[in-house]
Structure 1
Amino acid sequence: MSWVDVVELDQLAVDRGVAAMIGDGHAVAVFRLSDDEVVAVDHVDPFTGVGVLARGIVGSVGDRAVVASPLHKQRFDLRTGDCLDDPDVSVRTWDVTIVDGMVRVADHRRHESAA
């Protein structure tokens, strides 16, 4: 497995996302949550095909950290990729690690989308 440097952790604002291209040509959205966990999901909104999820609204539903698409507001669980508004749709999640303050995303998918 190889890793792609995405952003310095101290440059990643809490509850905000950044978009990055990783080794296999996929755009990912990387988020730093309020508990300092860093997660990554596909950047492309599966409902519209547009790369916007890094600009989505981060929040929670119960104990689930979610991002709402800025276009039509469908919510995606940031840890599993599941869509809370349509159980037949999900986004892929990606392994993330932090090394010497650098957020790195694996160049392979952790969780395949069901769609």
Structure 2
Amino acid sequence: MTVHATEAAPARATDTAWTPACPSARLRPDDGVAVLLPGGRQAALFRTRTGELFAVDNIDPFTGAAVLARGIVGDRAGEPTIASPLLKNVFSLRTGRSLDDPAIALDTWPVHDDGTTVRIDTRARTRMEGAP
């Protein structure tokens, strides 16, 4: 499922960067949702079994394919992860860092669920230092 994020009312009056991504009920644990962000970027949005929310690039840097939202959500020594469905490269959902090649990292964004809508802070993108 791909959800198109649109500019709409912010999550809170002072948080103008929070972009609606999908209804809270549609983001099930261990499933991913592809989100088209303003400006044409793609994010892969996840809710883990413990209820944590993560947004990372949807583009697999090893293949260039927009597939990470269809990846396998997992855990490595307590670190929540996503494995690409193509080559099975594994990334930390917290940092975006590849656990297979530390020189590679995905961008990440803060995520918020207000109980009705899951939102991504599109202005607060994080890129790991040293990543291409």
Q: CA deviation at 1:110?
A: 3.1
2:57 corresponds in structure 1 to: 42
- Aligned-partner Cα distance in 2 for 1:92–1:6: 17
**How far did 1:13 drift?**
1.1
Structure with higher Rg: it is 2
Structure-2 separation of matches of 1:30 and 1:72: 20
Instruction: Select 1:5's aligned residue among 20, 41, 45.
Output: 20
State the alpha-carbon separation in 2 of the partners of residues 108 and 67 from structure 1.
23
Could you tell me which of 18, 21, 26 is aligned with 2:36?
21
Give 1 or 2: higher strand fraction. Answer: 1
Aligned partners of 1:92 and 1:109 also within 8 Å:
no
Residues 22-78 of structure 1: per-residue CA shift (max 9 Å, x gap): 123210000001111111000000011110000000110011000000000000000
Structure number with higher relative contact order (C-alpha < 8 Å, ≥ 6 residues apart)? 1
TM-score, normalised via structure 1 length: 0.94
Taking structure 2 as the reference length, the TM-score comes to 0.82
Overall identity of the aligned pairs, in % = 42
Corresponding residue SS for 1:111: coil
Q: Are 2:80 and 1:65 aligned?
A: yes
Task: Say how many residue pairs are matched.
Answer: 115
* Contact 1:24–1:107, Cα closer than 8 Å, also in 2: no
Q: What CA RMSD, in Å, does the superposition of the two structures yield over aligned residues? A: 1.2
Q: Residue 28 of structure 1 aligns to which amino acid in structure 2? A: A
SS at match of 2:110: strand
Mark the runs of 5 or more structure 1 residues left unpaired by the alignment.
none
Q: Which runs of 4+ in 1 moved over 4 A?
A: none
Q: Displacement, 1:101?
A: 1.8
> Unaligned 5+ residue runs, structure 2?
1-15
